[in-house]
Structure 1
Amino acid sequence: MTAQPFRRRRSVLYVPALNERALAKLPGLACDAVVIDLEDSVAPARKDEARQALKAFLAAHEDDGKEIVVRINALSTEWGRDDLAAALACNPDAILIPKVETARDVLEVNDLLDQAGADPELQLWAMVETPRAVVEIAAIASLGRDKGARLSCLVAGTNDLVKDTGIRATPDRRWLVPWLMQMVLAARAGGVDILDGVSNDFSNLEAFAAECAQGRDMGFDGKTLIHPAQIAPANQAFSPAEDGVAEALAIREAFALPENQAKGVISINGKMVERLHLQQAERLLAKAGL
């Protein structure tokens, strides 16, 4: 499989598959990706209705540059395999697997996709939302190094982690931070993206912006959202700063000079710059769309 192109995932909006009004508004929203949800937001009695709504929406959807992801129910539920079949029929960019606890959970979905002849470019995202998932996070994230496993992104499920562990949910997320940092470290080791969990109080955008800044500083690539009002603050927080872009451009241009193309280390404005800094610069510029 060829390497996946870089995708900005600063703002990833959850939308219930049955919320027709919210789906209709998506073309006018500036989020980088949307997760159409068949899981938590859909009552058990309406699962089939949600699948039909998903198919109808994506059949009429025109590509506007947003990454389209479908969150299915876990394969261990009675709805999981039907959800997977429905998602596959819609040809999204990725399928989000909930309640992932081990690497085997991801590989099981991947095996079913292979058996169904799914497009090799179809990606898998994995929710990290249980205590066992946090314990197993290194093994789960390591699948990112196996391109045949399809895994490209991890998503922190902070609400479920709070519920399952009994920790106190404080505004500064002090009790969650150690686990969130563990997820970021595993994601980097596995070469996959990692998205911060949702903020439930969508009316308090000041607090939300602070949480975005915290997630950015911890190393997350973006944030999952539950309301369109959260899109702009997330995009701002997870976009590179102007001074950082300027520095990255200078590094790229310096290494592109004929006299530097074979060098591993160069000097820029009196600072030692290595090729690892060029790699960091290229990633930052990709986030900036440059």
Structure 2
Amino acid sequence: MMHPYRSVLYIPAARERALEKARDLAADAIIFDLEDAVAPEEKLRARDLLDAVLRRADYGARARIVRVNGLGTPWVEGDLAAFGAHPGVDAVLLPKVNGPADLDAVAGRVQAPLWAMMETAKGCLNAGAIAAHPRLEGMVMGTNDLAKELGARHRADRLPLLAALGACVLAARAEGRVIVDGVFNAFKDEAGLRAECEQGRDMGFDGKTLIHPAQLDIANEVFAPSEEEVALARRMIAAHAEARARGEGVAVLDGRIVENLHVASAEALIARAEAIAAQSIAAAAE
């Protein structure tokens, strides 16, 4: 059963209180951030702190992803040495991946699956090749850095970023990778967050990266199938099965055609709902 990634929360690795608090938050996954969220003078302390916390802390069913510093920085080698084979790490996230060669550069030092930050123009243009890398498990949109590189203006509809977002979703789906949307910066704007989550969900993203725990509930709600959607999916499967039993290739439900492709989508939606339910049960048992 697939692990859900509705809500992926960034936690600065230098903040011990935040690291401890994250154990009780309703996030599907946590990105422990050694890169942008940590000042240069704090990098080494943050690395040691995160190493110690991940060795002793229980984060339950939450996926534990460590974002290391980027290639070419003074800290990346130490980060890879510390977390490439760490028992408390489920994946290593590499910033500013421009192509598969960047993943090749770290793959030999990382036992866990690799994730790629998609936050450069070159990276988005090479999304297909990046997604096809044999060690890659997931992709994370870095919309702030991408907008900066593009010189794009902020718009609520994210029109300047849609080509890049769509290219990365296409690449992820072609290779069966997880793909998570970028952050919404105004964490007190619940309506804006909901609208952007709905846009990302409708585009095909698995979930959204978040910068504040207050954003978790909305992301978890929006990226989960509703009860009505699950009920409709079950009805579609049943209607199609009945049609096949009559020797017919398609069914009609509520005035709409139901074909094999609709059944496959319905089954995927139900599997997603079941994975989320299992995650919720595991969190409640902690």
Cα deviation for residue 274 of structure 1 reads 3.8
Q: Secondary structure at the match of 1:175?
A: helix
How many residue pairs get aligned? The number is 272
Cα deviation for residue 215 of structure 1 reads 1.0
Instruction: Let me know the Cα RMSD of the aligned residues.
Output: 2.2
Deviations 1:154-185 (A, max 9, x none): 11101001111111112221211222112111
2:45 to 9, 30, 49: 49
Could you say which residue in structure 2 is the equivalent of 1:180?
A: 165
Cα deviation for residue 142 of structure 1 reads 2.2
Distance change >3 Å, CA 88–CA 183, structure 1 → 2: same
Could you say which residue in structure 1 is the equivalent of 2:30?
A: 34
- The 1-side partners of 2:150 and 2:164 are apart by 11
One-letter amino acid of the structure 2 residue matched with residue 112 of structure 1: R
Point out 4+ residue stretches in structure 1 off by more than 6 angstroms.
254-257
TM-score when normalising by structure 1: 0.86
Cα deviation for residue 252 of structure 1 reads 4.7
Q: Is the 2:84–2:109 contact (alpha carbons within 8 Å) kept by the matching residues of 1?
A: no
Are 1:235 and 2:220 an aligned pair? Answer: yes
One-letter amino acid of the structure 2 residue matched with residue 139 of structure 1: A
- The 1-side partners of 2:70 and 2:238 are apart by 47
Could you say which residue in structure 2 is the equivalent of 1:146?
A: none
One-letter amino acid of the structure 1 residue matched with residue 181 of structure 2: D
1:141 to 120, 124, 131: 131
2:90 to 93, 101, 106: 93
- The 2-side partners of 1:265 and 1:124 are apart by 42
How does 1:40-119 map onto structure 2 within 5 Å? 40-91=36-87, 92-113=89-110, 118=111
- The 2-side partners of 1:274 and 1:193 are apart by 26
Q: Secondary structure at the match of 2:146?
A: helix
Q: Is the 2:81–2:109 contact (alpha carbons within 8 Å) kept by the matching residues of 1?
A: no
Cα deviation for residue 89 of structure 1 reads 4.2
Q: Is the 2:141–2:181 contact (alpha carbons within 8 Å) kept by the matching residues of 1?
A: yes
Q: Secondary structure at the match of 2:64?
A: strand
- The 1-side partners of 2:210 and 2:176 are apart by 23
Q: Secondary structure at the match of 1:184?
A: helix
One-letter amino acid of the structure 1 residue matched with residue 221 of structure 2: Q
Are 1:220 and 2:237 an aligned pair? Answer: no
Cα deviation for residue 283 of structure 1 reads 2.0
Query: Which segments of 5 or more consecutive residues in structure 1 lack a partner in the other structure?
Result: 144-148
- The 2-side partners of 1:102 and 1:74 are apart by 13
Deviations 1:69-99 (A, max 9, x none): 0000123222112101211243311111101
Could you say which residue in structure 1 is the equivalent of 2:251?
A: 267
Q: Is the 1:153–1:193 contact (alpha carbons within 8 Å) kept by the matching residues of 2?
A: yes
- The 1-side partners of 2:267 and 2:60 are apart by 25
Cα deviation for residue 251 of structure 1 reads 4.3
Distance change >3 Å, CA 127–CA 264, structure 1 → 2: farther
- The 2-side partners of 1:207 and 1:177 are apart by 17
- The 2-side partners of 1:124 and 1:250 are apart by 38
Q: Secondary structure at the match of 2:251?
A: strand
Identity %: 46
- The 2-side partners of 1:274 and 1:109 are apart by 44
TM-score when normalising by structure 2: 0.87
- The 1-side partners of 2:2 and 2:264 are apart by 13
